[in-house]
Amino acid sequence: MKQGAISDDTGLPPRRRSSDETVRRNWFSEPKTAIWIALGVALLFGGGRKLSAWWKARKAVARLGESDVTSDEIEEVAEHGRAGVYELLRIFSSSPDPPARRAAGRALARLWLLDQLVAEEEQAIIRRGYSVTWNARRRYPRALVGEIPITVSYDVPFLEDGGRRVGPANLAWSHRVTGARRAALEEFSPWTTGPGRGAFSIFPGDFETNGPHRLVLQTRIRTTGLTDSWELEPPHEPFSFEFDPNLRLDALLALPDAARDELVSQAIRLERTDATGESERANYLALSAEWTIRNPPTLAVRPPLPSDLAHTIWLEFEGIEGRFGGGTLVLSGQGLPKPHSPSADAVTRLFALGPVAPLPSGVIERPGTRQMRAWLEPNLERGWADPKVRSIWPGKIHTNWVDVQILRR
């Protein structure tokens, strides 16, 4: 049969299709037309969504270049994928506004968790966000004899736990310290996750010259639980200190003053510990190999004070001659507030007593209740060891008497 002919059941020869019949063909009733329509609609909506997302991302990234951009707007850029990576890195590296830098760091940490960054960008974030804090003085008296405690902490501050971004648990750290003249410190520490901290002591007698002397922190970082696995060594962080032969040990002592002495005495007292019930466990403070105090009192200090405290605690018992070492007390950041300005530290601080220097044998004959009070004497060595102590109250302080229960161990 020729193309365009129409057959029927009459047995007559087929006839040609007229042009009108060809024009009246219903294309919408054909199956393949429906397929093409569905494909067109999908393309239209999919392309429209992509176009809308691209436009929103473009506006969000452009907003980062404006001076009044908020921290929330900076963090929201992370939801648009890699579109804002370079702008976020720029803000994180060079913005003079700390909240903006922190928000950019949090946004980059979000992109890191979403696996939107390459390893080089991840390492750049760590290098730029890496922070080290040394807790020590720059200058010490040459006459100092006791050991000097030093702490150094390091981390990437904008990394936070929560699950929506890379956090401290995703980074493992190891460190060592050179220059302290301590062999144990020159070996790298075991790998630990979370913010890092090193605590150690130096001994003034180990340093023959006055200095300056140099401590150096070396850290290593590696990822854990993330898609990319790498290890990084940030720049070394030095710390310099020296011993000054002209700096006197008593330079930390404040000037005595009768009115302020009374104020300090009233602010420090012994407070009895509430008795525990039968189901609760009692606390004990050992006095010697034979005797102990059940539920010992605590030393209560109510700021503000006219100066800092760096004192040795001595314990005195009624009926027993002499005083016995009961630990140390350090309270820094003190100083009377300005007139008519409330103090933010006017909350009583509690300090536990001890350890106690063992009492001589025979000074306590039997268990029972005795009265006890505490004496506080300035400890200059302890004051120099804490870099936050600026001035030490020079007078001797004694507390109120309290009853204590002495038991045989």
Total number of domains in the chain: 3
Residue 195 lies in a domain: yes
Angle at 218 between CA 213 and CA 223, to 5 degrees: 165
Residue 6 lies in a domain: no
Asked if residue 306 and residue 200 are part of one domain, the reply reads: no
Last residue of a domain, which of 214, 247, 280? 247
Q: What global pTM score does this model have?
A: 0.74
Write out the two tokens for 164. 């929506």
* β-strand partners of 316: 323, 373
Same domain for 238 and 296? no
Instruction: Determine, yes or no, domain membership for 1.
Output: no
Q: CA–CA separation, 286 vs 137, rounded Å?
A: 34
Q: Point out the domain boundary residue: 227, 247, 267.
A: 247
Which uninterrupted H or E stretch holds 119? helix 119-129
- Among the candidates 117, 142, 158, a domain finishes at 117
> Residue 325 domain-assigned?
yes
Judge if the upstream peptide bond of residue 355 is cis by omega within 30 degrees of 0.
yes
Q: How far is CA 338 from CA 304, 342, 373, in A?
A: 11, 8, 32
Helices (H), 288-355: none
In a domain, 89, yes or no: yes
Q: What is the pLDDT of residue 57?
A: 57
Report the half-sphere exposure of 146 (CA within 13 A, side-chain side): 12
Residue with tokens 């200058």: 139
Residue 390: inside a domain: yes
pLDDT of residue 102: 86
Contact 239, 152 (CB under 8 A): yes
390 with 265: CB under 8 angstroms?
A: no
Cα 243 from Cα 308, distance rounded (Å): 23
Q: What is residue 46's predicted lDDT score, i.e. its pLDDT?
A: 55
Terminal-to-terminal C-alpha distance of the chain: 119
Q: Are residues 385 and 330 in the same domain?
A: yes
- List the structure tokens of 272: 């009895």
Helices (H), 6-97: 19-23, 31-63, 71-76, 85-94
Assess whether 138 and 279 both reside in one domain. no
Residue 123 within a domain: no
| Residue ranges making up the domain that contains 172 | 131-247
pLDDT of the residue at 275:
59
Which are the contacts of 86, defined by CB distance < 8 A and separation ≥ 6? Answer: none
**304 located within any domain:** yes
Same domain for 242 and 254, yes or no, is: no
Looking at the structure, do residues 228 and 155 belong to the same domain, yes or no?
A: yes
Position 191 scores a pLDDT of: 94
Residue ranges in the chain whose pLDDT is less than 70: 1-65, 67, 274-280, 335-346
Residue 205 makes CB contacts below 8 A (sequence gap 6+) with 145
- Same domain for 321 and 241, yes or no, is no
CATH number of the domain that residue 201 is part of: 2.60.40.10
